[in-house]
Amino acid sequence: MSTLVALRPRILRPVAPPPSGVVRLEGAAKQVLESSRGRLTLAAGVFAIAFAVVGMRLVDLALSKPVNDAREFELPRANDAAGYAADRVDIVDRSGALVATSVPTASLYADPRDIKDAREAAKRLKTVLADIKVEDLEPRLAAEGRSFLWIKRNLTPRQQYEINRLGIPGLYFQREDKRIYPHGSLMAHVVGFADIDGKGLGGVEQAIDSKIRGGREPVQLSVDIRLQHIVREELQAAISEFSAIGGGGLVMDARTGEILSMVSLPDFDSNAPGSAPADNRFNRNTLGLYEMGSTFKAFAIAMALDAGTATMRSSFDAREPIKISRFAINDDHAQKRWLTTPEVFKHSSNIGAAKMALEVGAEGQKAFMRKLGMLDPVQLELPELGKPKFPRDWRPINVMTIAFGHGLSVTPTHLASGIATVINGGILRPPTLIKRKEGEPVPGKQVLKPATSDAMRRLMRLVVEDGTGKKAEAPGYWIGGKTGTAEKVSRGGYKKSARLSSFVGAFPIHDPRYVVLVMVDEPKGTKKTHGFATGGWVAAPAVQRIVQRMGPLVGLPPIDETPEIRRLLMVDSQSQPKEKSVAAR
């Protein structure tokens, strides 16, 4: 039996088309799409978590020490324990130019307890550090009971990198600072140097070590690096020309006592002081003690004028040598006649200077030298300071020889400071290597009468215009000065063939600003100088060149002669003596 079902016809309704560009999926396709979207979301989440983990690990590695080779910059500095902080402040010249600074470096050390194979470690280190010896390092790395061993201090960045690459367990790095001197030897005797632990061992570095080590601001020197270049070049030229063994050069501000240049040759590289001979580290300007010869006649005449035992018109019998026992005092430029005070200075008469000093006497001369600072070490920011040598019993013979620069040994810095006092109005200003602050009063003590200083300026100009210092003349700069030539002291007497030739001058002498000193040690005469190696031939020309080069740098262009300048410097030295001194009689 069949059942009949009535079929209702389907009514088809119109369906709205999908939006443009959109495909509507239905059924199985839709399920596939939903499943893929879920998987993509899960994968993105996994990658995000992975990147987060990697990023956190990188941060962790950057902030924490690696297992093997990066205790670097983590431990306390080794030299802190010794009391010498590595962060020494910079040292700059008077214009701010850098002359000493510190840079961070890594130093290599080992913990022998962590070294697995001492010989293998030493051999592999040798591939990077060529100067180490495997046979020396191996037993040290194998030493039992030790936990710390320096291997190499102040590595270069390349060395540190290469050692890191070796991956040797038990090797570590220590952060330290290395002292660097950008100008090498140029400032060596002024700045000095510091050792590997940051302790000053010479020059300013040692003299004011605590200030450099504990300071916050750079230490500013009085030295001008530009003048230092000039003085060094001209001093070296003089040493080379006259085949000398060394020399010293100074420039000092006569108004403030500031030392603008100090050069001692031979010198050394402050970056490697241990590689230089001891003689190169010797500062001739502050540690060397010399009899400065006829430059001391400036003090003898200033002393007599200041004491009133002589005037510019006084005269002295220089016709015959002064005989003392089996010795005699002679003149190198003998005039064999009576000489006025200006003539004694112009002709550099030993006889005249000796007789002038005798009128002042031993006690007076000793007191004069003491108040000029000639009997005590110079007070200067350096550890290398020589103590003057003078007679224990100051007898008449000593009075005479000291008057022309024999029998009293001082440093060139003593001489420069004394001449500054003689020409600056008679005020003794302590020399310094530290720049004085603007506006602060300059320390000083009046030790000579202003009238004495005025007379000495005239006499020093006379020496350059018409005396032994003619070769120091630099037109327009009005240099005044005094030559000096002395036989060097040796055991039991003097070395006839070994001289110290010098010239100390000031400019402009009518209104003194700067003192310039050049000293050449054991020069030899040349064909050009007719065999002479005196201060006038050797040192005076060097001073001339220094003044000509430094004048424009310090703002002092050449000055034409004026009636006022001529009046300030005029000396009537041509007239014959009209009165005789007591000593002459």
Tokens of 471: 């070769």
pLDDT at site 6: 40
Instruction: Dump pLDDT digits (tens) for 459-487.
Output: 999 999 999 999 999 999 999 999 999 98
Confidence grade of residue 221 (pLDDT, cut at 50, 70, 90): very high
Predicted pLDDT at 78: 46
Please tell me the predicted confidence (pLDDT) of residue 57. Answer: 60
Lowest mean pLDDT, pick from 100-104, 486-490, 533-537: 486-490
Is residue 191 in some structural domain?
no
The predicted-structure confidence for 194-207, as pLDDT tens digits, reads as follows 998 889 999 999 99
User: Given this model, what pLDDT does residue 326 score?
Assistant: 82
The pLDDT-based confidence of 53 (bands split at 50, 70, 90) is low
* pLDDT score for 176: 84
Peptide bond into 508 cis (omega under 30): yes
DSSP per position, 164-216? HHH--TTEEEEEEEEEE-TTTTTTHHHH-EE-TTS-EEEHHHHHTHHHHHH-S
Nearest of 407, 302, 423, 295 to residue 357 by alpha carbon = 302
Could you tell me if residue 506 is inside a domain? yes
Residue 442 lies in a domain: yes
What CATH number does residue 455 fall under? 3.40.710.10
Could you tell me if 219 and 495 are in contact, meaning their C-beta atoms sit under 8 angstroms apart? no
Cis peptide before 266 (omega within 30 of 0): yes
How far apart are alpha carbons 333 and 40 in whole angstroms?
Answer: 109
- Confidence label for 33 from pLDDT (cuts 50, 70 and 90): low
pLDDT at 490 over 90: no
Among all residues, which ones are annotated catalytic?
294
pLDDT in tens, 101-116: 999 889 999 999 989 9
DSSP code for 290: B
Lowest mean pLDDT among 59-73, 353-367, 512-526: 59-73
Percent above pLDDT 70 for the chain = 83
Q: How many CB atoms lie within 10 A of CB 371?
A: 14
Q: Is the pLDDT of residue 62 over 60?
A: no
Q: From the CB of residue 476, how many other CB atoms can be counted at a distance below 10 Å?
A: 16
**Digit-coded pLDDT (tens) for 224-281:** 999 999 999 999 999 999 999 999 999 999 999 999 999 999 999 999 998 999 999 9
pLDDT for 13: 47
Domain count, the chain: 1
Domain range for 287 is: 229-569
78 belongs to a structural domain? no
Cα distance between residue 423 and residue 410, in whole Å: 19
Whether 298 is in a domain gets the answer yes
State mean pLDDT over 570-577. Answer: 59
pLDDT mean across residues, the chain: 87
pLDDT at 582: 41
Rounded Cα–Cα distance for residues 330 and 352 (Å): 10
- State the pLDDT at residue 87: 80
- Asked whether residue 336 carries a pLDDT value surpassing 90, the answer given is yes
The position carrying tokens 């010896």 is 133
- In terms of DSSP H, where are the helices of 64-152? 118-126, 134-141
pLDDT per residue as tens digits for the range 179-195? 999 999 999 999 999 99
More confident residue, 4 or 147: 147
